[in-house]
Structure 1
Amino acid sequence: MTKTAVVIGAGLGGLSAAISLQHRGFQVTIIEKNSHSGGKLHDVQLGSAGFDFGPNTITMPHVFNNVLKQTGRKPEDYFEFVPLPRHTTNSFEDGSSFTFSSVKEDMKEELHALDPASADKYEAYRKEVEKLFRLADRHFLKRTFRSWKDFISLPLAKGLLSSRPLETMDSFHRRFFKDERIISAFNRYATYIGSSPFNSPATFGLIGHLELNDGVYYTKGGNYRIAEGLKKAAEESGVKFIYGEEVVSLTVQNGTISEAVTNREKTVPGDVFLLNGDLLSQYPRLVASEHRPSFTDKKAVSADPSVSAYVLMAASNKRHALNHHQVFFSRDPKKEFEDIFNKGEYSSDPTVYICTSSKTEPSRSPDGDNLFILVNAPPLSTEAGAHPFSKETVFEKLRRFGLDLSTSITDSMEVSPAVIEKRFNAYRGALYGLSSNKKKNTFLRPFNKASDLNNLYFAGGSTHPGGGSPMVTLSGQNVAELIVKHHLN
């Protein structure tokens, strides 16, 4: 008799797991509250301009490709990755700028123009961040954690201790670079995991390897095509989808979940259940407290959330002098992170990130640029509710850099942390679940399996191996393997 698996949430982790489970012999049903797959990674259309809401910087394309290759499919039939050698321009208020490049010689030239000493140490930096990535890839990224016993491993312990867990990212970067502009640009990697470079461990310096050694990519047609491609493969495999229904509870009997109940009073039975959503908000919502003594409500609400975001998607009738990725930095990045994480408020001088995919693919916005503008936001307060922020603050900031967008915008859409919280069930509007500002959150994220239930598993950014589109896709692969091992064989 075919075993059944129910996946709650059609994000990248859920799609990834569903494809693997269906391929290995399960009958999989995905239940998704929204009308689209991909979670935060989906398409938004404003007039003739198309936007990716969700990950704009794509790394590790092999992770997405491998989901399809395992089933015998050709990835190029589902999505196509375009390399961006000179991918991110870092701009500063003194008028200077430099561009990140995956071409070593180009990168050294960029650094040399600002600080020759930093350029001289770039080769040593590249080798060190590659080492950090190899350690993580060998010991951490492809693992699942069901209990504390899974941490009792000498190779794992050695790997973790070798990955600079006690040094901050800021301190790590200062080993190689002296110019504050360069340090600020590299420190921004901490925001990829929703954290501060002054608190998060140097372990995540490995992001530098992904961007500068391995490379940054764009998905032809829009990055949302990754989600569309995985959805197509899932459907071809026989995965069933239920859209526009939200799971409101999981029925538990003797430590085993028997069914998912939706807001339309539909019951979906299953042998195994996978929660691909924000574990911090959804596990307590779906499972009554008496069935999860190891994950109490108090434990859930005491979690340290990652950053949230204020997003402005703006269709322009002009082509602006922007790179595909461009960052306009704060005058005082340390104060900016203190404002967000210590004071719980927006910085008065925020760093502004703009993704303009029309620079690489003009057809995404044929009548002018598609400006995806993001400002790091504090997670929603448990007391004060939504944080106020205005696009005028963004426009004022950019005008200081000589970029006046206000007169060219024909249509726009704002997305606040409160909207992110509601639309994606994100704990306090956080983009990446837990922050990595505390060392334990880096390596001791919630387990991939519920401790108190024998058939509930977790995938996504709030569990191992962490946030970011490749990581959540990996989490789906890792958990699918765990489910096969314990429920199919």
Structure 2
Amino acid sequence: MKKVVVIGGGLGGLSSAISLAAKGFDVTLLEKNRHLGGKLMQVNLGDAHFDFGPNTITMPEVFREVIRLSGENPDEYLNFIKLNTHTRNISSDGKVLDFSSDQEKMKDQLSRLDPTGAKNYESFIKEITRLYQLGSSQFFRKSFTSNTDYLSPGLGTAFARVRPLQSLHHFYRRYFSDPFILQALDRYATYIGSSPYISPATFALIAYLELVEGVYYTRGGNWKIAEAFEKVAKISGVTIRTDCRVTSIQVKNGKAVAVEVADGETFPCDLVVMNADLLAAYPALVEEKDRPRFSDRKAASFEPSISAFVALVSLNTRNKQLLHHTVYFSSDYEREFKELFVERKYPESPTIYISNSSVTEPEKGPSGDNLFILANAPAVKKESVRDGFSERYKELIYKTLEKQGVSINGQILEEKLITPEDIQSQFGAYKGALYGVASNRKKDAFFRPRNKAQDIGNLYFVGGSTHPGGGSPMVTLSGMNVADAIVREWNA
């Protein structure tokens, strides 16, 4: 029985561990934090409960599939609630557009806000459906472990058909004319931590997921997905060690032979699956001489995705204008992305996202709203953030919300701030990036670091920095994809 060590217990690591255990591998999973699920974790403040992230769930069948691989019934572990009207978008001058998977509702709103968009909406849905179907058939379910994986004729044909040379913003302009509607749709680029003015139109398939298939919430909190994976991993025979920080991967003759942890214990292995952030962990855990084709310089050459400045706030009141998801947009979105990616600084007038899960599940905030408030932030720079900056930026966000009618100050029971530096430290995220590599450059959008090390024949990668990309469904798929590749290669 082949021994596999999985480094990192995020959704990618858990899905690969479950998949490999189901195929007869002896799997040990090592996680540096005390919880599994990575950024998908629960935070409690008094009687209020929060998902740190992700707050928006799409493609629920992917998570159910992992549980089925273990032989368990997903209905006994997960209850997904569809949010038919899921995201309220509010412009800086007070316009409102509620995103919904109900196409008639969308067209009715657009008829008032963007008549051109209303007329083109069915054509728009048809095109993003095509993009999604191409992505699903040619990209999502494949691992890229060698050069030959990139040479498939079908892959080349599909690549040419997913609008790789057109920007996401330019794509939306083909169908919509109102600046606010374009802004609301452009925000989908942040789901991959990128800029809509640069990243490829291919990623309009994200709009398909929300506007056609719909947005979901997991009853009890989205962190229940990680809890379910942990339970079925144990049932499947996976050995799980939490509070166990990996310090090195021992390599001999181009093979990983053992994984060492902070207390000096070593875990001999036949294979290693790394779910820790590839750009940060690979250089940290493997000596540079053992990875000549992925040098420290190469690792540093990738552009990190955006990070986040987050305030978790428990209130003693409820704001009736908030849906489960609400976004308050800045007046100059293009300027905001220039600040994030070019100037590498916090936006002076940030777009603010709020998740208020107590709208759907009131017990998550018994005393009032449980607000997960997020503003996009730049990746961590070498120079440290100025003293007191977090408090000042929090107050900027609160004052912006106050102007939009959402009272924060004076209503707070408890609050907690989470910065990009915190994300970098707790989750080992490369420069605090939420989604690994940004998709602003074509090579990074379509040719992310492959799922297998070029210099170490039995080291595999899963998670947001590798194929098929960031976001909870994609990293979960990466775990299953890599497990399938390992089974094929090792014929276990």
| Match in the other structure for 1:262 | 261
Instruction: Please report how far the alpha carbon of residue 365 of structure 1 lies from its aligned counterpart in structure 2 after TM superposition.
Output: 1.2
Q: Which amino acid aligns with 2:375?
A: V
Q: Which amino acid aligns with 1:48?
A: D
Instruction: Please report how far the alpha carbon of residue 360 of structure 1 lies from its aligned counterpart in structure 2 after TM superposition.
Output: 0.2
- The answer to whether 1:464 aligns with 2:467 is yes
| Match in the other structure for 1:368 | 368
Within 5 Å, give how 1:28-427 maps onto structure 2: 28-321=27-320, 322-381=322-381, 383-386=382-385, 388-389=389-390, 390-427=393-430
Q: Which amino acid aligns with 1:472?
A: V
| Structure 2: gaps of 5 or more residues | none
Instruction: Please report how far the alpha carbon of residue 479 of structure 1 lies from its aligned counterpart in structure 2 after TM superposition.
Output: 0.3
| Match in the other structure for 1:443 | 446
Q: Which amino acid aligns with 1:422?
A: S
Q: Which amino acid aligns with 1:473?
A: T
Q: Which amino acid aligns with 1:420?
A: I
Instruction: Please report how far the alpha carbon of residue 111 of structure 1 lies from its aligned counterpart in structure 2 after TM superposition.
Output: 1.5
The superposition leaves residues 170-219 of structure 1 with CA deviations (integer Å, 9 ceiling, x where unpaired) of 00000000000000000000000000000000000000110010110000
Instruction: Please report how far the alpha carbon of residue 153 of structure 1 lies from its aligned counterpart in structure 2 after TM superposition.
Output: 1.5
Q: Is the 8 A contact 1:6 1:274 kept in 2?
A: yes
Q: Which moved more, 1:214-223 or 1:314-323?
A: 314-323
The superposition leaves residues 313-356 of structure 1 with CA deviations (integer Å, 9 ceiling, x where unpaired) of 00011111210000000000000000100000011100000000
| Match in the other structure for 1:453 | 456
Q: Is the 8 A contact 2:164 2:201 kept in 1?
A: yes
Q: Which amino acid aligns with 1:134?
A: Q
How far apart, in 2, do the equivalents of 1:192 and 1:281 lie? 21
How far apart, in 1, do the equivalents of 2:243 and 2:182 lie? 45
SS at match of 1:428: helix
How far apart, in 2, do the equivalents of 1:386 and 1:156 lie? 43
Instruction: Please report how far the alpha carbon of residue 149 of structure 1 lies from its aligned counterpart in structure 2 after TM superposition.
Output: 2.3
CA RMSD between the two structures: 0.9
Instruction: Please report how far the alpha carbon of residue 147 of structure 1 lies from its aligned counterpart in structure 2 after TM superposition.
Output: 2.4
Q: Which amino acid aligns with 1:244?
A: D
Instruction: Please report how far the alpha carbon of residue 487 of structure 1 lies from its aligned counterpart in structure 2 after TM superposition.
Output: 1.8
- The answer to whether 1:6 aligns with 2:28 is no
The superposition leaves residues 383-441 of structure 1 with CA deviations (integer Å, 9 ceiling, x where unpaired) of 32337442101011112212221111110000000010010111111001100000110
Q: Which amino acid aligns with 1:98?
A: L
Q: Structure 1 length as normaliser, TM-score?
A: 0.98
How far apart, in 2, do the equivalents of 1:264 and 1:310 lie? 33
Q: Which amino acid aligns with 2:357?
A: S
How far apart, in 1, do the equivalents of 2:148 and 2:295 lie? 21
| Match in the other structure for 1:488 | 491
How far apart, in 2, do the equivalents of 1:96 and 1:301 lie? 41
Q: Which amino acid aligns with 1:75?
A: P
Q: Which amino acid aligns with 2:442?
A: K
Between the aligned residues of both structures, percent identity stands at 49
Q: Which amino acid aligns with 1:86?
A: T
Instruction: Please report how far the alpha carbon of residue 154 of structure 1 lies from its aligned counterpart in structure 2 after TM superposition.
Output: 1.3
How far apart, in 2, do the equivalents of 1:71 and 1:236 lie? 8
Q: Is the 8 A contact 1:201 1:439 kept in 2?
A: yes
How far apart, in 1, do the equivalents of 2:297 and 2:103 lie? 48
Q: Which amino acid aligns with 1:286?
A: L
How far apart, in 2, do the equivalents of 1:325 and 1:140 lie? 29
Instruction: Please report how far the alpha carbon of residue 72 of structure 1 lies from its aligned counterpart in structure 2 after TM superposition.
Output: 2.6
The superposition leaves residues 120-147 of structure 1 with CA deviations (integer Å, 9 ceiling, x where unpaired) of 1111110100000001111111111112
Q: Structure 2 length as normaliser, TM-score?
A: 0.98
Q: Which moved more, 1:223-232 or 1:72-81?
A: 72-81
How far apart, in 1, do the equivalents of 2:361 and 2:92 lie? 28
Q: Is the 8 A contact 1:3 1:488 kept in 2?
A: no
Match of 1:434 among 430, 434, 437: 437
Q: Is the 8 A contact 2:70 2:233 kept in 1?
A: no
Q: Is the 8 A contact 2:18 2:69 kept in 1?
A: no
How far apart, in 2, do the equivalents of 1:303 and 1:20 lie? 30
The superposition leaves residues 4-23 of structure 1 with CA deviations (integer Å, 9 ceiling, x where unpaired) of 11000000000000111000
Q: Is the 8 A contact 1:68 1:75 kept in 2?
A: yes
SS at match of 1:183: helix
Q: Which amino acid aligns with 1:405?
A: I
Report runs of 4+ in structure 1 exceeding 4 Å deviation: none
The superposition leaves residues 194-246 of structure 1 with CA deviations (integer Å, 9 ceiling, x where unpaired) of 00000000000000110010110000000000000011000111111111010
How far apart, in 2, do the equivalents of 1:363 and 1:316 lie? 13
How far apart, in 1, do the equivalents of 2:146 and 2:186 lie? 32
The superposition leaves residues 281-312 of structure 1 with CA deviations (integer Å, 9 ceiling, x where unpaired) of 00000000010001000001111000000010
Q: Which amino acid aligns with 1:414?
A: L
| Structure 1: gaps of 5 or more residues | none
How far apart, in 1, do the equivalents of 2:146 and 2:400 lie? 47
How many residue pairs match? The answer is 487
Q: Is the 8 A contact 1:55 1:469 kept in 2?
A: yes
Q: Is the 8 A contact 1:93 1:400 kept in 2?
A: no
The superposition leaves residues 144-164 of structure 1 with CA deviations (integer Å, 9 ceiling, x where unpaired) of 111222111111011011000
Q: Is the 8 A contact 1:32 1:244 kept in 2?
A: yes
How far apart, in 1, do the equivalents of 2:299 and 2:359 lie? 42
Instruction: Please report how far the alpha carbon of residue 69 of structure 1 lies from its aligned counterpart in structure 2 after TM superposition.
Output: 1.7
